[in-house]
Amino acid sequence: MRGQPVIAGVDGSDESLRAAALACRIARAADAECVLVYAVPEVWSPDGLAPLVNSGQVFDQLVAELRHEISRKWSAEISAAVRESLVARAGRPGVVIDAVVRERGAGLVVVGGRHHGALVRGLGGSTAHHLVRTSPAPILVVQGSERMPRRVLVATDLFGAAGPTLATARRYAELCAAELRVLHVVEPAKFPTVVPLSIDPGVFEAQSREAFTRLVESELSDVPPDERIVRHGRVDEEIAEEAVAWRADLVVVGSHGRGWIDRMLIGSTTERLLNRLPTSLLIVPIGRPARRQRKPVRRAKARPAGSVIL
């Protein structure tokens, strides 16, 4: 991400301003530009016929008030140049931030963390959840302190997300001069009585541990054995417990994305972590494989009446 802009979503809340302060620190460490993005909320006229935010005067006033709030609380961490170059657009925060991320070719997007219930997540009510589903850049959801992380916990599977997730975790650990710990969770079968396992659970766990060892040796061989952790249980619960036990400042995970019905009814591991993790979370988007193109069906040419097929 060195040289690529760091985008921080701001709205005047304490959570967003702490996130912006951390974004500026990361940008300085990476020798990159920090860009604040403000999705100006719609303020409707008394008759309710048109949003006043479309009025230049109201729009400019809201932006000026936000700049003043940032200067009053965070002038030491967020420079005047960053405050003055703030990008302000009317619209929903997730949509506005995602558009700027793509326009600028950002290497990271940073937002403040807030917890939401299943219904709000399913209806797209959280900026962080929206960006997890759409952003091409990693998303850092900041919980608590604006300080640079000193302990980075990366949770990995053994499949396609592993390589990009581990590489991103290494980059941020090096950027922040932080300790790095690697975690893999062996999750038991969800419906063992309905779908019998074709392999003994003990054998499956042993094979998972062996595959994890090979993966870490291949991707992060300098991580000492004591910092290679395997836990057994539900993935989001085990990641959260390890983060608390080790006092991690940042947890890194990969996300494949899911359909909105799945998110609303059961949620993905990433989205469950967003709503239970007590520390900051860095989500690495993992691209889905391209859909295979279906070959066009060739239709037989019309034959003249009376013809015979041999």
State pLDDT tens for residues 126-163: 788 889 888 999 999 998 888 999 999 999 998 877 99
The confidence score (pLDDT) of residue 302 equals 46
The confidence score (pLDDT) of residue 295 equals 45
Per-residue pLDDT band for 1 (boundaries 50, 70, 90) equals: low
pLDDT at 298 over 60: no
Task: Report the interhelical angle of 201-219 vs 162-175 (nearest 10°).
Answer: 50
Question: What is the overall mean pLDDT for the chain?
Answer: 81
pLDDT at 307 over 70: no
Mean pLDDT lowest among 59-63, 123-127, 209-213? 123-127
pLDDT at 125 over 70: no
Residue 66 and residue 281: Cα distance in Å, rounded? Answer: 26
The confidence score (pLDDT) of residue 256 equals 65
pLDDT at 121 over 60: no
Question: Token pair 């390589």 is at which residue?
Answer: 163
In percent, the amount of the chain with pLDDT more than 90 equals: 56
- The residue among 298 and 38 whose pLDDT is bigger is 38
Query: Is the distance from CB of 235 to CB of 269 less than 8 angstroms?
Result: yes
DSSP string, 103-150: HHT-SEEEEE-----HHHHHTT--HHHHHHHH-SS-EEEE-S--SPPS
The confidence score (pLDDT) of residue 170 equals 96
DSSP H or E run through 253: strand 250-255
Per-residue pLDDT band for 264 (boundaries 50, 70, 90) equals: very low
The confidence score (pLDDT) of residue 276 equals 78
Query: Is the distance from CB of 274 to CB of 113 less than 8 angstroms?
Result: yes
The confidence score (pLDDT) of residue 277 equals 82
Mean pLDDT lowest among 58-72, 195-209, 281-295? 281-295
The confidence score (pLDDT) of residue 109 equals 97
In percent, the amount of the chain with pLDDT more than 70 equals: 75
Mean pLDDT of 115-130: 55
Per-residue pLDDT of 46-76, as tens digits, reads: 555 455 555 577 888 889 999 999 999 999 9
84: amino acid identity, one letter? E
Per-residue pLDDT of 219-254, as tens digits, reads: 999 999 999 999 999 999 999 999 999 999 999 999
Please report the domains of the chain, with CATH numbers, ordered by start residue: 1-146 (3.40.50.620), 148-287 (3.40.50.620)
| Strand 139-142 versus strand 280-285 pairing type | antiparallel
Cα Rg for the chain, rounded, in angstroms? 24
198: amino acid identity, one letter? S
246: amino acid identity, one letter? W
What is the three-class DSSP state of 257?
A: coil
